[in-house]
């Protein structure tokens, strides 16, 4: 009977989490490279080039592909012939691996987990606890799949208890456009069908752990209804024209995965969870002989794509930026930003609102400044800042009018803005700029200095001042209120294909 030592399991989890923080799965890179070659939309092609370049830089530098290094989910298939040599629980043994990985001084990962989620939301500081799913299976090995899921994509998870006669395809096609681009496409869609509500959600998440094989599936043809449904949904979702980062393009999803389970005759539970451009998961097997470490991938397998600033991009000096210059920006314009900007996201915005409500003076002036929605990873060595990609901007929509009223000129984040935020931008004649989610390490190279100005106790959510040089962004909402996330997909959408029967 194999004995799995707690230390071996902990070491394996820690190694896997470090590994997936800077190495994309090779199947994702190959699929994304194919999408890059096929892409016709200049904005989407530029975004994919940034993601691919960022991936290679992260792999070479052993730094996170995304600043949001995720909430950890672990799927354990425990062979019934194995025993765990530990007085601690399996949860505790796995969490020790998470703790070590996220506090590794050579490559510290951002701690994003908060306890007491309904009230104080205090950061646990080490990204524990993880979410663990355990299944006892026949055999004498322990299979572990480790994933790290960013909040931007996890927040787009959807569930619907359909009537048995309702169409799964129709629901997916109605729901995907409502998800916006905060999940950082191109990525994957995981779908769970059947069981109960919670079973469907777990299946949707677990389906994302499977290799990307849509090209191979199309080449050989579907062998059953589920595979035919995967192909149909892949083509139909891409036909929506959402594209990379929601800017409009040919590829929104690289694959669609589906797991199903028998369900009650009165029910048809369906769950859908997207995986983002920072796809992170790894699979290891323990047999009692020691920890399982993942092999170093061959970087020659990465495509020869090196993003460079667009020669047609407009250079913008943030230190002399004026409302008059903002009025000249058009939706889809690519800009290269240089100069000083402020940062701030959820917690900082809430604190600002509370201070204003109490009549208190703010510690920072936002007059004629630009703010970047970001929570960076801590720097190491000579880094000015760690990976510092944008966070989902819609979470700041409720604060937009307030902040523009404080004199802000523009905001930078990822994905679309909601109607209220767009209305405020138009009313104040300001702008919103979109940076590429999934290019955090590349973006950090544009940051030349960093200092905390206020709310230091908020950690990565403090207000920083960055000095940047040629930071790439796209004009996403103009002073006229035109949104590229609305106009771009309309240009690239294609007529839907017919749904298969029974789905």
Structure tokens given for 191: 């779908």
Spacing of C-alpha 432 from chain mean position: 20
pLDDT for 234 beyond 70: yes
Q: What are phi and psi of 312, to 5 degrees?
A: -90, -5
Q: Would the pLDDT of 45 be above 80?
A: yes
Q: DSSP alpha helices (H): ranges in 112-267?
A: 151-154, 168-175, 197-207, 214-220, 225-238
Q: What is the pLDDT of residue 499?
A: 54
Does the pLDDT value for residue 460 go beyond 90?
Answer: no
At residue 160, φ and ψ (nearest 5 deg) are -150, 130
CA distances from 155 to 282, 391, 395, 488 (A): 22, 12, 11, 23
Indicate whether 170 pLDDT > 90: yes
Question: What is the spatial distance between Cα 351 and Cα 358, in angstroms, rounded to a whole number?
Answer: 11
Q: Are 352 and 399 in contact (CB under 8 A)?
A: yes
Instruction: Decide the pairing of beta strands 463-477 and 334-343.
Output: antiparallel
Q: What is the pLDDT of residue 312?
A: 86
Mean pLDDT of 55-67: 96
Query: Is the pLDDT at 82 greater than 90, yes or no?
Result: yes
pLDDT band at residue 381, thresholds of 50, 70 and 90? very high
What is the per-residue pLDDT for 497?
62
Mean pLDDT computed over 47-74: 96
Residue 500 has pLDDT above 70, yes or no: no
pLDDT in tens, 298-351: 999 999 999 998 888 999 999 999 999 999 999 999 999 999 999 999 999 999
CB 364 within 8 A of CB 371: no
Percent of the chain at pLDDT exceeding 90: 96
The candidate with the shortest Cα–Cα distance to 43, out of 181, 236, 215, 235, is: 181
pLDDT given at position 372: 98
pTM: 0.94
**Weakest-pLDDT range from 40-49, 459-468, 487-496:** 487-496
Mean pLDDT across the chain, nearest whole number?
96
- Is residue 367 within 8 A of residue 405, CB to CB? The reply is no
Side-chain half-sphere exposure of 166, counting CA atoms within 13 A: 16
User: Residue 388 phi/psi, 5° resolution?
Assistant: -145, 60
Q: How far apart are CA 263 and CA 29, in angstroms?
A: 36
Helix or strand run (H / E) with residue 410 = strand 410-413
- Among 248, 252, 173, residue whose Cα is nearest residue 487: 248
Tens of pLDDT, residues 383-409: 999 999 999 999 999 999 999 999 999
Q: Tell me the pLDDT band of 1, cut-offs 50, 70 and 90.
A: confident
Query: Whole-angstrom Cα distance, residue 436 to residue 453?
Result: 25
Reading the block at residue 256, the tokens are 């669609």
Over range 254-259, report the average pLDDT. 98
Q: Does the structure show a pLDDT above 60 at 498?
A: no
Tokens (6 digits) for 448: 């030349």
Residue 294's CB is within 10 A of a number of other CB atoms, namely 16
Bridge partners of residue 255, in order along the sequence: 188
């Amino acid at each position: 009977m194999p004995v799995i030592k707690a230390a071996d399991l902990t070491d394996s989890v820690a190694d896997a989490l470090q590994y997936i923080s800077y190495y994309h799965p090779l199947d994702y890179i190959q699929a994304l490279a194919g999408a890059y070659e096929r892409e016709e939309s200049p904005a989407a092609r530029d975004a994919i080039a940034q993601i691919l370049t960022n991936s290679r830089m992260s792999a070479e530098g052993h730094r996170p592909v995304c600043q949001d290094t995720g909430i950890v989910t672990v799927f354990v298939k425990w062979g019934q012939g194995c025993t765990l040599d530990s007085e601690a629980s399996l949860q505790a043994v796995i969490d020790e691996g998470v703790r070590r990985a996220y506090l590794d001084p050579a490559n510290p990962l951002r701690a994003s987990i908060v306890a007491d989620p309904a009230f104080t939301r205090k950061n646990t500081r080490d990204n524990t606890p993880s979410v663990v799913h355990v299944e006892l299976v026949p055999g004498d090995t322990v299979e572990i799949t480790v994933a790290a899921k960013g909040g931007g994509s996890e927040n787009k998870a959807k569930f619907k208890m359909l009537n048995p006669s309702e169409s799964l395809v129709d629901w997916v096609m109605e729901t995907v456009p409502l998800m916006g681009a905060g999940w950082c496409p191109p990525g994957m869609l995981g779908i769970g069908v059947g069981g109960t509500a919670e079973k469907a959600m777990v299946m949707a998440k677990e389906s994302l752990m499977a290799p990307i094989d849509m090209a191979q599936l199309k080449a050989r043809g579907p062998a059953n209804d589920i595979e035919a449904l995967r192909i149909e949904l892949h083509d139909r979702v891409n036909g929506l024209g959402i594209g990379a980062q929601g800017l409009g393009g040919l590829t929104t999803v690289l694959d669609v995965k589906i797991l199903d389970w028998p369900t009650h005759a009165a029910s048809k539970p369906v769950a859908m969870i997207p995986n983002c451009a920072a796809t992170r998961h790894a699979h290891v097997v323990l047999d009692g002989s020691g920890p399982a470490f993942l092999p170093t991938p061959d970087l020659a397998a990465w495509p020869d794509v090196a993003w460079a600033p667009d020669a047609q991009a407009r250079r913008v000096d943030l230190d002399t930026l004026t409302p008059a210059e903002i009025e000249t920006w058009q939706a889809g314009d690519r800009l290269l930003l240089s100069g000083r900007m402020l940062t701030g996201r959820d917690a900082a915005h809430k604190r600002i609102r509370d201070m204003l409500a109490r009549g208190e003076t703010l510690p920072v002036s936002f007059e004629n400044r630009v703010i970047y929605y970001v929570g960076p990873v801590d720097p190491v060595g000579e880094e000015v800042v760690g990976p510092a990609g944008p966070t989902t901007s819609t979470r700041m929509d409720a604060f937009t009018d307030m902040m523009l009223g404080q004199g802000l000129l523009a905001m930078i984040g990822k994905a679309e803005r909601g109607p209220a935020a767009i209305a405020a931008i138009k009313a104040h004649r300001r702008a919103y700029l979109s940076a590429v989610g999934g290019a955090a390490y590349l973006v950090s190279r544009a940051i030349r200095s960093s200092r905390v100005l206020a709310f230091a106790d908020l950690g990565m959510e403090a207000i920083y001042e960055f000095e940047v040089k040629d930071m790439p962004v796209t004009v996403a909402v103009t002073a006229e209120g035109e949104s590229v996330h609305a106009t771009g997909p309309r240009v690239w959408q294609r007529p839907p294909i017919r749904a298969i029967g029974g789905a």
